[in-house]
Amino acid sequence: MTDVDTGLNVWQMASNNNRMIELQENAPVIKEGEIELAYFASSAFRITSPSGVSVMIDPWRNLPTRKWDWYFHDFPITTVDIGVSTHAHFDHDALHRLDAHVLIDRLVGSYSFQDVAIHGFADKHSIDSETAFYNFKKLIKHFQGIDISPPNNPRSWDHSLIIVETGDLRILHWGDNRHNPPESIWDALGDIDIVLLPIDGSQHVMGYERSEEIISRLKPKIVIPHHYYVWDVVQRQSTLQTPEQWLETQKHVEYLKEPTKTYSLSNIANLDRCVHYFGEHVAFDKAAWYEKGR
């Protein structure tokens, strides 16, 4: 693997810190207000704070070895203020595809800027594939000789749960974290307004029952599925499926018609575990992305 160039390409970007200098000197810190959540397919979301600070979590790429492409092309180069990755897997760690001022990889601890605070909690990746189409833990052990079971797993099977606090909301990106972290993690997570949870028909990251356990424990106002199949972004060989089957079991589902959704504490305060589903809507120009990658 030493021949794979995995270095960041910030030196190739023409942008600079001028925006962040302006924000840190002049932008008002708005504690309450509307935030925008935008879906970029796979597990990638952009959160924009009331004062306009943007955070992109888990941009994706294809496996660097190119032996098993999941996407038709790598993540489109996207301008954002802060980029965050939950863990070192190709479908979550493409920070080099962001034209970002700040990059935060596998955060443990806290970072804050203006009206945004980001908290990271160190835990472990899910390895429970009992309901998945295939047992990836067994496959990795057989073909690579690697045991991904904690606590002595390789670094790529570590994981950071990420909470973004902005607009008086607490948004938890579950990434691919295991469903059963220790009690100390649950206590640290606290009250969650919106949880971004990996749910797809192949039950690749975790089974439906595990997802329900997390939802029941957190009791968020909003649940948003991610890590699922989008027919013109994600390739079939990923084995991912849509979460339609799971959605049919939920009491309150809103099928969103756009790739962005605006939230504020006042407009979700009375909600209880409502599911908002972005479907195949993504916040970039698919046609331009596809043509540029040809």
Helix (H, G, I), strand (E, B) or coil at 158: strand
pLDDT tens column, 77-123? 999 999 999 999 999 999 999 999 999 999 999 999 999 999 999 99
Range name among 9-23, 41-55, 148-162, 174-188 with the lowest pLDDT average: 9-23
| pLDDT recorded at residue 1 | 45
Q: Which domains does the chain have, with CATH numbers?
A: 36-293 (3.60.15.10)
| pLDDT recorded at residue 68 | 85
| pLDDT recorded at residue 4 | 53
Share of the chain above pLDDT 70, in %: 97
Query: Is the confidence at residue 165, as pLDDT, over 50?
Result: yes
pLDDT bin (cut points 50, 70, 90) of residue 67 is: confident
Query: Quick one: tokens of 264?
Result: 């504020």
Q: Pairing between strand 78-85 and 54-57?
A: parallel
Q: What pTM does this model have?
A: 0.95
C-alpha separations of 47 from 34, 36, 70, 166, 237 in Å? 11, 6, 24, 9, 29
Phi, psi for residue 243 in degrees, rounded to 5: -90, 20
Helix (H, G, I), strand (E, B) or coil at 237: helix
